Structure 1
Amino acid sequence: MTERRIKIDVPSLARVEGEGALHLKITEGALDALQFKIYEPPRFFEKFLEGRHYTEVPDIVARICGICPVAYQVSAVNALESLFQAPLTPWIKQMRRLLYCGEWIQSHSLHIHLLALPDYFSEESVLGLAAKEPEVVKRGFAIQEAGNRLIRFLGGRSVHPVGLKVGGFHRAPSAEEAKELLEFLQERLPEAVALAEWVAGIKLPEDEQEFVSVALSTEQFAIEAGLLRNSQGLQITEDQYEAHFTESQSPHSTALWSLMDGQDYLVGPLARLNLNHDCLPAFLKTLLNRLGDPFPSRNMFHSMLARAIEICVVLHEAISILQSYQPDTPSAEFSVRAGAGFGWSEAPRGLLWHRYTVDEQGIITAAKIVPPTSQNQARIERDLEKSLTAFGLDKADELLRLHSEKVVRNYDPCISCATHFLKLTTER
């Protein structure tokens, strides 16, 4: 019996935030074992939150991720505000959505241009891509800047913003600031549409699989709030999450694995498009029809187009909000209550769920955070098994490595965010 082992280690995932590896065991042309490993050390954020006052939570959780700090802040304040029954005004809710639009724009543009596109042009990085497609990269950075400006508008700065608080915002930007931002975003929308058209023309691997899509849904395209749905008919609220979703430890990964009713599932842009396709603005439905609308899709390689479409969704939404913007009271009054609060939102990479237990003084006594990457980890491993088998296990190791990278990057995993601290029992 001839056994061939392939190990894909840290350098193979260089365009993924954090450290991870893939280990394959191939015997006589068949895949015997596959392990997608996340082995970054725990970062203890849930433990750091214990003993802190609830007012500190938004600034602390923003540090979990430098790319999607708004998602962590919004899920956190959603959880605490649900417990405190904070009477948020329509203005506050709309500004939360506007702030989140900025994060989707900057994160999706970063992923498309710096992480995903080099794969399709046989380049190691965006520098090689820029040499081949300079105008595409230039346009991508301009679109990303639109997201950064939106985050600064309400967050004070684009990285680890500080404008958000439990109950609303610390300040309301002026009408003059809004007007200047509006003009910049209006210039970017045609560029975002052009990006979607261009991405739709890229030849993608044909790699259809069966999976369950999970995402929030509302009458609008769900971003900062909503009910959770899946493609099998489940519909639940935030406090019901743990009745269906469980985390467990995999021996080969420091990140916890999440299963929904015992099965792997998908969160993120493709899952959102699959479930919320009917909520797209009319101009995007027309655009997709012209491009040969693939949604709902069973091909994870359509995730890049899903991100491009979502950039158009939130740019259009942000422009609509800013066109009628007027400053208003930035925060609501509420009373602190002891108990447990639950909150979620749609991070660029998918569903992000928080739970906090708070005492009468507003001190956090327990915290649990389930990020998108840990929710997608089981699905990534299943995808790799099927995709590599379909790709051909007899191919050269380097080709298997490159294909594996492309598969993993479809999920845009933020590995650093997925590591938790937990008690591990071992037998020796």
Structure 2
Amino acid sequence: MNHDTRTGEIHVPILARVEGEGALDIRIEAGRIEALTLRIFEPPRLFEKLLEGRSSQDVIDSVARICGICPVAYQMSAVAAIESILGVAPSPWVEAMRRVMYCGEWLQSHSLHIHLLAAPDFLGYDSAPAMARDYPDEVRRGLRLQGLGNAIIRTFGGRSVHPVGICPGGFFHAPDSAAMQALRQQLVTGLEEARELIAWTAGLPIPEDDQDFVSVSLRHPSDYPITAGRIVSDRGLDIAPADFEERFREFQVPHSTALHAQLDGHPYLVGPLARLNNNLDRLPEALRQRLDDLGIHFPSRNMFHSIVARAVEMHVALAEALRLTEDYAPAGEPHAETPVRGGVGVGCTEAPRGILWHRYALDGDARVAEARIVPPTSQNQARMEEDLAASLTRFGLERDDDALRLHGEMVIRNYDPCISCATHFLDFHAVRK
């Protein structure tokens, strides 16, 4: 079929191997994409409304339920916002151990995505079990690393899914030294496996697909950003999380139950590639040398390099967990006492998929009067649609529907969208005649 004359429609009613339910619709006219929509059609979960009237501890425990893959991220952004309102400064021990716990989430989430969701696309398999027949060692390694991430979360949170260990001022419980020593032995082995994983992802047949996009992430004065930092971009943005609403705007589109987001009126990227693009100088020197030796060059304009960025961040997570627990001793007081008072506060941390911004208004009894949560997937949705249009056009609109459908799904899965994190209450307008 001639590229200049093709006209037709492609519908992907259910996107496979993503968290949640979505669909992709494309209309091609005269060899050009005239309409492209990435539809999120899950019912809105109304979490922001459900939080109203709840105590600060209820908020921390409840937001973990927003996502089964990244519950720690929701808890960390929430507790940061709440502590800013209550005037509580976590101790250095608490800050360090929260970073370790968050590293566990990065490890399990990134490993799940690389091995079970994304790698089959690059290697031409329709599923992870099919890929495992030819790559059994690689899949087993991925499952071990994912399990190690879950073990880190469970050590601090009591369980790996929807953990319950975090409270304002710290943790309910401090892991004992024996448990931490056993965990550290696993971390040492995991770090070497993560080193091997970087080389494996770098050797995948990654398509060449450079594009122009804005990378947005946190940036910390000295560390690779996870639990804190200013919001920056590779185009000069540098703001405090409290100023997020001055530059970022969410808006509703007819085809999605999740809001889209723009920075100064344009789509932008959050997530591992954006973080690495903005924070390459925050990687340890030995890791940067490892990337140079493998011929991996960041910053990158190729979205498909996200899989390599995830492997790099898994190494960062394991190295950080080892560094921060080297001289571990349980805190005598794992959390500080917190006052009861009202106010407004924000928290922003780096979920595996990108910046996760929370804003809460508490009344005088420290109960929620208003809540706003901006998850990374909704921030990436406009960028995903922009990427799909550019990538499919470069791929070749003259190709048959099955080829275009598979490439489109590959582009979407590359973002690791967590579709179920659509937390907003949508405006409803009825026009009756």
Shared fold, TM over 0.5: yes
2:97 alignment counterpart = 95
Residue 113 in structure 1 maps to residue 115 in structure 2: yes
Q: CA deviation at 1:177?
A: 0.7
Residue 234 in structure 1 maps to residue 237 in structure 2: yes
After superposition, the C-alpha distances for 1:239-285 in whole angstroms (9 at most, x for unaligned) are 10100111100011111001111110000000000000000012211
Indicate the RMSD between aligned Cα atoms, in angstroms.
1.1
Q: 2:204 and 2:349 mapped to 1: Cα distance?
A: 30
1:217 alignment counterpart = 219
1:7 pairs, out of 11, 16, 22, with 11
2:415 alignment counterpart = 411
Q: CA deviation at 1:2?
A: 6.7
- SS of residue matched to 2:108: helix
Alpha carbons 2:272, 2:313 under 8 Å: kept = yes
Which amino acid in the other structure matches residue 420 of structure 1? Answer: H
1:58 pairs, out of 49, 52, 60, with 60
Q: How does 1:185-334 map onto structure 2 within 5 Å?
A: 185-218=187-220, 219-328=222-331, 329-334=333-338
Alpha carbons 1:36, 1:381 under 8 Å: kept = yes
1:336 pairs, out of 340, 355, 376, with 340
Q: 2:324 and 2:115 mapped to 1: Cα distance?
A: 27
1:376 pairs, out of 377, 380, 391, with 380
1:355 alignment counterpart = 359
After superposition, the C-alpha distances for 1:215-235 in whole angstroms (9 at most, x for unaligned) are 001110000111111111111
Count of residues paired in the alignment: 426
1:151 alignment counterpart = 153
Alpha carbons 1:40, 1:419 under 8 Å: kept = no
1:364 alignment counterpart = 368
Which amino acid in the other structure matches residue 367 of structure 2? Answer: I
TM-score by length of 2: 0.97
After superposition, the C-alpha distances for 1:372-427 in whole angstroms (9 at most, x for unaligned) are 00000000000001000000001010000110011001110000102522213355
After superposition, the C-alpha distances for 1:294-345 in whole angstroms (9 at most, x for unaligned) are 2100000000000000000010010111211111121012322211110010
Q: 2:86 and 2:144 mapped to 1: Cα distance?
A: 40
Q: 2:104 and 2:224 mapped to 1: Cα distance?
A: 15
TM-score by length of 1: 0.98
Q: 1:221 and 1:315 mapped to 2: Cα distance?
A: 13
After superposition, the C-alpha distances for 1:125-183 in whole angstroms (9 at most, x for unaligned) are 11001101000001111111110111011111111011111111001111111100000
Alpha carbons 1:41, 1:419 under 8 Å: kept = no
1:400 alignment counterpart = 404
Runs of 4 or more consecutive aligned structure 1 residues displaced over 2 Å after TM superposition: 424-428
Which amino acid in the other structure matches residue 319 of structure 1? Answer: L
1:72 alignment counterpart = 74
Identity across the alignment (%): 54
Q: 1:356 and 1:293 mapped to 2: Cα distance?
A: 41
Q: 1:91 and 1:419 mapped to 2: Cα distance?
A: 32
Which amino acid in the other structure matches residue 18 of structure 2? Answer: V
Which amino acid in the other structure matches residue 347 of structure 2? Answer: G
Structure 2 unpaired stretches of 5+:
none
Alpha carbons 2:180, 2:328 under 8 Å: kept = yes
Q: How does 1:34-53 map onto structure 2 within 5 Å?
A: 34-53=36-55
Residue 421 in structure 1 maps to residue 425 in structure 2: yes
Which amino acid in the other structure matches residue 252 of structure 1? Answer: H
- SS of residue matched to 2:305: helix
Q: 1:127 and 1:254 mapped to 2: Cα distance?
A: 32
Q: 2:424 and 2:18 mapped to 1: Cα distance?
A: 18
Q: 2:30 and 2:235 mapped to 1: Cα distance?
A: 37
1:175 alignment counterpart = 177
Structure 1 unpaired stretches of 5+:
none
Which sits farther off after the overlay, 89-98 or 118-127? 118-127
Q: 1:327 and 1:121 mapped to 2: Cα distance?
A: 45
After superposition, the C-alpha distances for 1:346-388 in whole angstroms (9 at most, x for unaligned) are 0000000000110011110110000000000000000001000
Q: 1:427 to 1:380 in 2, by over 3 A?
A: farther
Alpha carbons 1:269, 1:350 under 8 Å: kept = yes
Which amino acid in the other structure matches residue 256 of structure 1? Answer: L
Alpha carbons 1:213, 1:266 under 8 Å: kept = yes
Q: 2:385 and 2:391 mapped to 1: Cα distance?
A: 10
- SS of residue matched to 2:37: strand
Which amino acid in the other structure matches residue 288 of structure 1? Answer: L
Which amino acid in the other structure matches residue 384 of structure 2? Answer: I
Alpha carbons 2:6, 2:28 under 8 Å: kept = no
Q: 1:369 to 1:308 in 2, by over 3 A?
A: same
Q: 1:92 and 1:371 mapped to 2: Cα distance?
A: 24
Alpha carbons 1:19, 1:40 under 8 Å: kept = yes
